[in-house]
Structure 1
């Protein structure tokens, strides 16, 4: 049975609460995935494996493994969220999983490679599942023509959160990896966890679950209902040709974006000798342009269409990774960071907008779950390629250049997506 069209009763407070989650979770993606913990793991935790790119290889394989778990869980939990109308409860649970495991990273010291990867993996799984459940609310909050704006505001507010979390962590990180500062450095992980939890409280308090639980057919268990629903959704993808093509393109180009995000601080530290203090300053700069890019392109997407906006960002990314492979100085890398931040924020905001426009009403959790599956599989191959190219060549310059292949291939597939046709298919 087709659900009735939503009345979009969300007020400003609820819209702000939805954006607050992007503000909150940016602390984890910025400090744990990108700036602080990734470099700490390679330079301190796995320092005995640092020769020949082994530590980098271990980190990227561990990251990819956590993404594989999310890829498997996302469609199942997305379908469960739709069937039971429990997106909000699952959002809270996944957030708490991330927060607790992030705080426990404080206890990871030199040689704890297994513990360090497991705790990070669990935290990363919670982080990504939380993103899925929060994004699934987008369809319920505003009409399709306003999704680009709201998604852009969310991403933009998220980068403000990244800025603030970096500023809070700076006193703990600035002295780097000298022995006397390691305890302080690990405290930055606790600061990240506390920031995430406190900043997410408005989301927990004010974001409403408007979906209603669906009844099951007689004789069907919850598991059979979910698996039946998933099979139907996979079969229905044949009807959504532009959504299907978009998934393929997103799988390819997001693989490269995820890899660049995860590798950027490691590249700057190992290739250009950036200190932890330098990295904080660098990412403070990029967060500003990323926030401006996400808000600006969110508005642009509502004017020129999400497909055109994404195309612009992908052309930018091709040029960026080629330039990054050739960069020689801190100043050049800072300048690239300004452009990369804008390209990152723009692409993330508009990509979420497009999936919202292509999503049939009443299947948000499930379709955003598949969106997450694509995104998480897109976070598997790229990091592995980056780690392996680094290990084989002994140079991260060749590794970052290899990402250009992903961007070009993704753009080639994406150019066949028709936005109007995709929206019409979702509304039928």
Structure 2
């Protein structure tokens, strides 16, 4: 068997982040999410709802759809991780979930406004999202094996996250320059949308689904080329039964590992809040500030650039100081910027009225987006590394399954709370306010987290 060098294994691992990031960048946050809510809101207004009520209802529908998907991910993630640990086989699962990613994203092409079905759209979006999230569980669990020095894992995680952001940035730029039409019918590059895509049917926007699918299929090649499993010899034939038993045993032992338990609880809340910002940021800008898809896309470019830069920088800080100080700083920054966003309307910033026609709300929101990108990228990179310090080294995939559970057990909470707040207040702006409380809860729970965890302290 040909030996794969450490450098190739690391770069293969990096390419998963590059390949998978467009699902978050193009679909979840900056292009398809706003398209979904704008299209559904337009249909609801055609049925007689006022604009404000229609936009709040569309945001609520998107939130409930993501909440249902999150519950499904939370239920299955730890068990799948335990199965992988018991069998030593991760790649077959990654192939399966990669196929779900591809099918789910490609199917979003069939969401034209004149035949739009919110149920159909959310179902296929959910299939792709489940594929991405489950594939991430298994690829994250390779991180501890990429370097013999644990202190180097923060740098590797940060560099991988930065590389993924750059991939998302390149994909977004391609979308805006070559496919997405502006108000005058041409792209930002002044071209007609490629492939003769018709703006009137939103084909220039819907192409984001197939583009994301093809991007993933192409750039997963290095990952599969340079990644190998080390199967556990003599794996038990009743692997699902034994894996479930091992998982239940791990859950029963969690109270005896307070640092791990506190970290899982903390990350559950702050990652849920961050995902809420990512998911509804573009939707908020489109609904509250009236931004076009192109404007939201440019906003995304700014956020991704800061995210890539600070993921890379935070990886170096993580190597020097450890992941915990990075996490605390980022959660504080995101809490403050969330409070800022709530105060932004077309006519005011920080609740202070401004002159009609002022560009201050747009500029302020761009600044907020840059901070979210920077702090969010650094937070996720260091959180991934922190999990390697908190987990039992012998049950790493199961631990990342629990990490996914902590990220998804309440992943319905931010979308559900935003959906509920949007419905109760009838306001998109006030609808995003619950993320502030989630960040604060996550910050408080970090007080019980040991920098090196229970297993390695």
Whether TM exceeds 0.5 here: the answer is yes
Q: Which of 258-267 and 382-391 deviates more? A: 382-391
TM-score norm. by structure 1 comes to: 0.93
Offset at 1:397?
Answer: 2.2
* 1:384 matches 2:390: no
Alignment equivalent of 1:31, drawn from 6, 20, 26: 26
The within-5 A match list for 1:92-111 is 92-110=95-113, 111=116
Offset at 1:402?
Answer: 2.5
CA–CA distance in 2 between the matches of 1:176 and 1:370? 46
Offset at 1:238?
Answer: 2.7
CA displacement 1:228-272 (0-9 Å, x = unmatched): 111111122233210111011111111111101000000000011
* 1:294 matches 2:311: yes
* 1:83 matches 2:86: yes
Q: Which of 271-280 and 179-188 deviates more? A: 179-188
CA–CA distance in 2 between the matches of 1:30 and 1:45? 21
Kept in 1, the 8 Å contact 2:260–2:453? The answer is no
CA–CA distance in 2 between the matches of 1:86 and 1:13? 20
* 1:74 matches 2:77: yes
Offset at 1:362?
Answer: 2.5
* 1:182 matches 2:206: no
TM-score norm. by structure 2 comes to: 0.87
Aligned residue for 1:210? Answer: 230
More helix per residue = 1
Alignment equivalent of 2:259, drawn from 225, 242, 257: 242
CA displacement 1:337-369 (0-9 Å, x = unmatched): 111111101100000000011222231111101
Kept in 1, the 8 Å contact 2:327–2:382? The answer is yes
Q: Could you say what the CA RMSD is over the residues aligned between the two structures, in angstroms? A: 1.9
Q: Structure 1 31/257 Cα, relative in aligned 2: closer, same or farther at 3 Å?
A: same
CA–CA distance in 2 between the matches of 1:114 and 1:419? 44
Kept in 2, the 8 Å contact 1:47–1:55? The answer is no
Q: What's the secondary structure of 1:238's corresponding residue?
A: helix
Count of residue correspondences = 415
CA–CA distance in 1 between the matches of 2:233 and 2:172? 40
In structure 2, the gaps of 5 or more residues are 46-53, 186-198, 346-360
Alignment equivalent of 2:180, drawn from 173, 179, 190: 173
Kept in 2, the 8 Å contact 1:176–1:276? The answer is no
Kept in 2, the 8 Å contact 1:255–1:375? The answer is yes
Kept in 1, the 8 Å contact 2:390–2:453? The answer is no
* 1:233 matches 2:250: yes
Offset at 1:401?
Answer: 2.7
Kept in 2, the 8 Å contact 1:46–1:113? The answer is no
Offset at 1:212?
Answer: 2.1
Offset at 1:162?
Answer: 0.7
Offset at 1:392?
Answer: 1.2
Aligned residue for 1:140? Answer: 145
Kept in 1, the 8 Å contact 2:64–2:415? The answer is yes
